[in-house]
Every structure is written in C-alpha cells, then in structure tokens.
Amino acid sequence: MTIGSYLNIQRDILSDMPELPELQVISAELTDILAGHSIKQITVHNHIVVHGLPVDEFTLVAVGEVFQKVRADGKFIIMTLEKHDIVINPMLTGRFRTVSRYKKPTKSDMVSIQTTGETFWYSDLKKMGRVYLVPTGDYSGVAGFGDRGPSALDPDLTLDVFKDRIKQRNGQIKNVLRNQQFVKGIGNAYADEILVYAGILPFRKRSSLNEDEIERLYDSMRKVLTRILDVLSGRSLDEIAIEKRDFMMVHNRGGEICPLCGGRVSEVKANRFKTNYCQSCQK
C-alpha cells in the first residue's frame, strides 16, 4: 500500500501543510499498516532532518522493536515502539508513505524504516522537518514540543477554557490561531477557513474581539476542523499527500467567489505565506 503518491510540487508560496486533520488521518492509516510489525532496518538518506542522536545510533538503537501505534499530537506524528518513540515534525513539506517493494530513494527521501511488513518512508521536499528517536514518552529534547496548548479538537478545550486562553494572547487574530502555544494543530490554511466561517478579518487585533465574536470563533474552529476531518477521512491518502484541498472556502482561492456570500475572495502574500479572506463576510 502507498501513502501518498509523493507528488511534491515546488511552490513559491508555502501552504503550511500538513495540519491536524491530515495528521490524524495519516496516523490512523499508519497504525493500521505498521502496528505489530518489527523494525528490520532504519536508513538515513539525508542526515539534515535527524536530531537528538548521532545518525549511527539513530539507525541502530530501535532495530528489532515492534510498532505499537501512531498518533498525531498537534503538528507532530508520534510513532510508538516498544521502548522508543519516533517523533516527526513534518513542518511544511514533510510527507509520509509506505511501500511494499524496494524503491530507489529520491533526493526528497530523508528516512526509511524497513519492517517485517511495509517499508515506511519520510520525505521532505524542502528538508525543513525534524525526526527524533527518543525513549518512550520523553519529549524533552524535541524542539517545539513542550509548552504547547491543548489540541484544537480536544474535548477538554471547552468554550470557557478557550476564552481564558485567548484573552492571554495579543496580536492579529490569525497569528493567535496559528500559535501552537495557544492551541495546537492549526496552520496557515485552516486559520483562513476558521476565520471566514466566523466572519472575522484575519488582521483584527485579538483585543478588538468582543465576547460574541470569541464564542463565534470557538464554534467555527470546532465545526470547520471537524468538517475537514470528516472529508479527509473519506479520501485516499494519495489525495491528502498532494494537497487536494478542493473543500476550501477561501484559502488559496484569491479572486474567486466566496461560497458564503458570493463576494470576491481577497489575497495578501507576506513572508511567503498567503492569507485569503472575504471583505464582505469578514469584519
């Protein structure tokens, strides 16, 4: 079975993918494929993504261990073995797949893990991701893992908790949503989607939001991410890997028609990221 077609296209504008919904679907599929299989060989094809251990140790220390499960934690993938966790932060262009037969690594292939079943491949077009091998549950050496907020879809993230957390934040509301210390799992694309559904301009200062707008933002976050998760769960992982996001309302749709009001979708580019919004819907 293949996870993703590995069709990675060089883009001038970064899309901040994958985000929480994609990683949850990918994790469930990887668990189905890898759980119960032991590691036969770990190969590092490009050492730049390996952190925390020397490459020689990284390739040997977990050989023979059996995969237990794979889970998403915000924007991280955690692959639990018997004594270790493989922790991957795919950043912007990290991709995951498994193959049943030998394949020659490409320039984008970073790490492969041969098991008694499928071979897992982590690939990264821009080589921005980070891969760690740590003792089970010890994430102290994983950059960016600590001091994060709850998952955006965590059932314990109630409206009251959300209000308390957001009032501690300053700056533009889109940047607040993307801040993993506030809530984890939301990136550039889904922040746009949440804000258009909430009717809030991405450039508004957090301090300008009233109580009704904060409640609307919370409801939008939960509904939009849940809807996206439902859509992705019904799609092949090939489609997820190539960023087939045809369900988007405004993100990456500059100049098109807003499906909520029929207005025109605007686009701003800054720091190689796009922000899309509807001037009619969002205030």
Contacts of 238 (CB under 8 A, 6+ apart): 2, 3, 4, 5
CA distances to 110, 192, 264, 281 from 199, in Å? 41, 11, 14, 5
Are 105 and 172 members of one domain?
A: no
Residue at a domain's end among 86, 103, 135 = 135
CA nearest neighbour of 265 among 275, 274, 252, 278: 278
Question: Are the beta carbons of 232 and 4 closer than 8 angstroms?
Answer: no
CA nearest neighbour of 90 among 76, 106, 108, 79: 76
The span from the first CA to the last CA of the chain, in angstroms, equals: 46
Residue 149 lies in a domain: no
Are 188 and 271 members of one domain?
A: yes
Residue at a domain's end among 135, 169, 192 = 135
State the pLDDT at residue 16. 58
Angle at 25 between CA 21 and CA 31, to 5 degrees: 140
Residue 153 lies in a domain: no
Are 185 and 76 members of one domain?
A: no
Contacts of 57 (CB under 8 A, 6+ apart): none
Over the chain (283 residues), what is each successive 10-residue block's mean pLDDT?
A: 36 60 94 97 98 97 98 97 98 91 93 97 94 98 96 97 97 97 96 98 98 98 96 78 84 94 94 91 96
For residue 134, give the H/E element and its range: strand 130-135
What is the C-alpha separation between 99 and 115, in angstroms, rounded? 11
Residue 121 lies in a domain: yes
Residue 67 lies in a domain: yes
Are 26 and 117 members of one domain?
A: yes
State the amino acid at position 251 in one-letter form.
Answer: H
Residue 276 pairs with which residues in a beta bridge?
Answer: 267
Residue 12 lies in a domain: no
- Residue 137, Ramachandran bin (φ over 0: left; ψ between -120 and 50: alpha; else beta): left
State the pLDDT at residue 6. 33
Residue at a domain's end among 73, 100, 135 = 135
Q: Which domain holds residue 222?
A: 159-278
Are 124 and 204 members of one domain?
A: no
Are 104 and 210 members of one domain?
A: no
Are 41 and 131 members of one domain?
A: yes
Q: Report the number of secondary-structure helices (H) and strands (E) in the chain.
A: 7, 10
Residue 185 lies in a domain: yes
Are 181 and 131 members of one domain?
A: no
State the pLDDT at residue 129. 96
Question: Are the beta carbons of 97 and 3 closer than 8 angstroms?
Answer: yes
Residue 5 lies in a domain: no
What is the C-alpha separation between 253 and 274, in angstroms, rounded? 10
Are 198 and 264 members of one domain?
A: yes
> What does the pLDDT look like over 82-135, one tens digit per residue?
999 999 999 989 999 999 988 899 999 999 999 999 999 999 999 999 999 999
State the pLDDT at residue 18. 87
What is the C-alpha separation between 89 and 56, in angstroms, rounded? 21
Question: What is the number of structural domains in the chain?
Answer: 2
Are 263 and 171 members of one domain?
A: yes
Are 119 and 200 members of one domain?
A: no
Are 47 and 94 members of one domain?
A: yes
Total residue count of the chain as it appears in this document: 283
Which CATH number characterizes residue 260's domain? 1.10.8.50
Angle at 194 between CA 189 and CA 198, to 5 degrees: 150
What is the C-alpha separation between 265 and 262, in angstroms, rounded? 9
Which CATH number characterizes residue 109's domain? 3.20.190.10
What is the C-alpha separation between 222 and 92, in angstroms, rounded? 23
